[in-house]
Amino acid sequence: MYFIKTNHEVFIDKFKEGELDYVNGYNIEAKVEAENPENAIKKYFNNHLYYDFNMNSVYIPHKEEETEEKNTLHYSVLVDVDNNEASGQEVEEWKQEKTQLYSNNIFLTIYELNEVEI
């Protein structure tokens, strides 16, 4: 069993200009039953955030800086105004500046829960 919490920072995102103004922030947390941390994260994204998760697209801070916590990762998702993951068509329209998308920057921390004897 794993406990996962995410902090979200949402910014207006322009294809040519990148992230602009901060527009929203929120936190989510949940317990997830899984065989290993990677599967727990995938389940968390699917069942609580409703985003596709690709481990190849994550930034893991402790792999760059040894002083960083070993149980954190950063992930970014392009979303629409309702915070739904942008479709392929929406991304293409965003690239042509025909629609507004937002960057949902996710800071995830995961803990393994173990039963203890009292």
Provide the residue range defining the domain that includes 65. Answer: 2-112
Q: Is residue 118 domain-resident?
A: no
Residue 11 falls inside a structural domain: yes
Taking the C-alpha atoms of residue 118 and residue 101, their distance in angstroms, rounded to an integer, is 50
Q: Does 37 map to a domain?
A: yes
Over range 59-79, report the average pLDDT: 82
Q: 3-class DSSP state for residue 55? A: helix
Count other Cβ atoms within 10 Å, centred on residue 104: 23
What pLDDT is attached to residue 55? 85
pLDDT digits (tens, 9 = 90+) for 19-39: 999 999 999 999 999 999 999
- Averaged pLDDT of the chain: 92
- In this predicted structure, what is the pLDDT of residue 104? 97
- Mean pLDDT on 39-62: 90
Q: Count of CB atoms within 10 A of residue 15's CB?
A: 13
Indicate the pTM of the whole model: 0.86
| Structural domain count, the chain | 1
